[in-house]
Amino acid sequence: MTSFKLLFSDLDGTCVHYQDGDAFKFEPGDSLGDGRLVRAQFNSDKRWTTALLLPASTSGAQGIISLRTLELYASLRAMRRKVILISGCRYSTLIQRLPYLPAADAYVCESGGRIFYPDTSLPTAVGLKEDMEWRKRHNLAAGASPPNEETITTISEFKKLGPLWRQYCFLKDEGLELDRHHYSTAFRVRIPRQEWQEKYASELLPGLDFAENLGAVDVYSNTSGKKNAAVYLMAKFGGNTDGIDSVFMCDDDNDIELAKAVSKAYLPSITSDSMRQFAETNPEKFVVATKKSVWATEEILHILLNNVLETSTI
């Protein structure tokens, strides 16, 4: 039996969960001594856990992460495993969430476009340092900095910034609902999956790629993407770039390519039909939690911890 060196972990649906029917409910009034801690109850059997409520997103959704989840990620790091949080979220969402997320060795946002490391070189409240070597790889498609619509007033100026933003202009002209707020290496298209596949997926400009994410589509440079960012970090942290000593906790469409690139994928939940189908047709590749919500995440993290403990005694 071999263990892993690197754990990649998605956020929403993996370590952060949302109210979902009878899965659990939030009881913010049931404080447990810390203003951020709440009681989360599992309706089916009345079990409860201590949890943190994350800040509400721009859509109004409010995620939850259990205190035990945070402790289990910390235990893995204490056992010299690298933990990398990797998400399609925009930069501002990552920064807003940092006080609530597991401490990690790297934080990846914008579907792989930007990588940050903990940094204590300056006496700041939250120390982060961006990997500019990685960021520069996307300059050809995305430009060196995000476009500023206050200073860029014409479409022709916008298009000069690179193919990513030319694609943005094309889709905007098509009347699609686009979101580039606080993105610099990607933008989001809110469009039904079938319409995107039929009309636009094959029409992307050279050098661009996309991933389906949270019922939308993220468009980015083909130098980016979760898989490419993960392979870069495998090398950065001394792992094998073939993924043999890496594992991935995930749940959604935009996780599939990275799931293929690691030795094992762990699913606290399955939030897309394509991921469900991929897991069912590749059962040897996946471990699917038997529990739900925050308890499913804790279940998977216990499995990973046991793996480390068992292999360390061999």
Query: pLDDT digits over 75-118, tens only?
Result: 999 999 999 999 999 999 999 999 999 999 999 999 999 999 99
CA angle 67, 70, 75 (to 5 degrees): 125
Phi, psi of 52 (to 5 degrees): -110, 135
Q: For residue 57, which amino acid is it? A: S
What is d(CA 118, CA 226) in angstroms, rounded to the nearest whole number?
19
Specify the pTM.
0.92
The mean predicted confidence, pLDDT, of the chain is: 88
Q: Report yes or no: 127 and 120 within 8 Å, Cβ to Cβ.
A: yes
Q: For residue 125, which amino acid is it? A: A
User: CATH 3.40.50.1000 in the chain, residues?
Assistant: 6-23+65-135+226-312
Which pLDDT belongs to residue 150?
Answer: 54
Quick one: CA dihedral 119, 121, 123, 124, positive or negative?
negative
Phi, psi of 30 (to 5 degrees): -95, 65
Q: Report yes or no: 268 and 289 within 8 Å, Cβ to Cβ.
A: yes
Q: How far is CA 148 from CA 135, 152, 180, 182, in A?
A: 18, 6, 11, 10
The β-bridge partners of 286 are 265
What is d(CA 208, CA 169) in angstroms, rounded to the nearest whole number?
14
High-pLDDT (> 70) share of the chain, %: 84
Q: Please state which of the four CATH numbers 3.10.110.10, 3.40.640.10, 3.90.740.10, 3.40.50.1000 is assigned to the domain occupying 6-23+65-135+226-312.
A: 3.40.50.1000
pLDDT surpassing 50 at residue 23: no
Q: For residue 18, which amino acid is it? A: Y
